[in-house]
Amino acid sequence: MVNNGATVTVLPLAIESAQRRAERLECEHAEELAGLRRQHDAEGERRRAQYADPRERLAAAGRALESFKVRVRERALECKADEGWCDEGFNAAMRDLGLPELSSTYLARVSVYVRVVNAESESVAREWIGQALDSTDSDVTIRDWDVDELYVQE
């Protein structure tokens, strides 16, 4: 730059001034920059973790699905009780949803008098009683049986 015949060099001063200004701004905003860097790093870690192991994501999705199925079945059981749904309709809905059907089990103690005719002996009579008590119905199982008292009728 020429000023009344004298040459003045301004460029090095301008560069030095700009560098000082940049350093000052960097100091003034150092905390903000550090916070943004931490936020950026955390977001990157979250994304890496999110896509890191597909088997873990699949397992987590499976656990969420099983939990949902349990909640759906529990809610359906509440509705069945509150609104009087029949077992047949409830089980049809459970089958449609791929959920376990309602299964009620009843246990009863029954006393039965059995008449055995023409048995050769007491042990044969006991055997025949046991055979008579066996059920062929798949929904009915005779769990235990015992002949408490056996006598000959005259």
Kindly state whether residues 75 and 119 are assigned to the same domain. no
Tens digits of residue pLDDT in 34-74 = 778 888 888 888 777 766 677 887 888 888 999 998 889 88
Distance from C-alpha of 42 to C-alpha of 18, rounded to nearest angstrom: 33
User: Do 69 and 100 meet the contact criterion of CB atoms below 8 Å apart?
Assistant: no
Kindly state whether residues 112 and 144 are assigned to the same domain. yes
Kindly state whether residues 35 and 15 are assigned to the same domain. yes
Kindly state whether residues 118 and 80 are assigned to the same domain. no
Kindly state whether residues 111 and 148 are assigned to the same domain. yes
Kindly state whether residues 147 and 110 are assigned to the same domain. yes
Q: What is the reported pTM? A: 0.36
User: What DSSP string runs through 16-29?
Assistant: HHHHHHHHHHHHHT
CA 135 centroid distance within chain: 38
Kindly state whether residues 122 and 153 are assigned to the same domain. yes
Kindly state whether residues 154 and 112 are assigned to the same domain. yes
Distance from C-alpha of 81 to C-alpha of 54, rounded to nearest angstrom: 41
Distance from C-alpha of 71 to C-alpha of 129, rounded to nearest angstrom: 47
Write out the residue range of the structural domain in which residue 149 sits: 105-154
**Predicted local confidence at residue 12, as pLDDT:** 64
Percent of the chain with pLDDT over 70: 82
Kindly state whether residues 42 and 58 are assigned to the same domain. no
Q: How many domains does the chain have?
A: 3
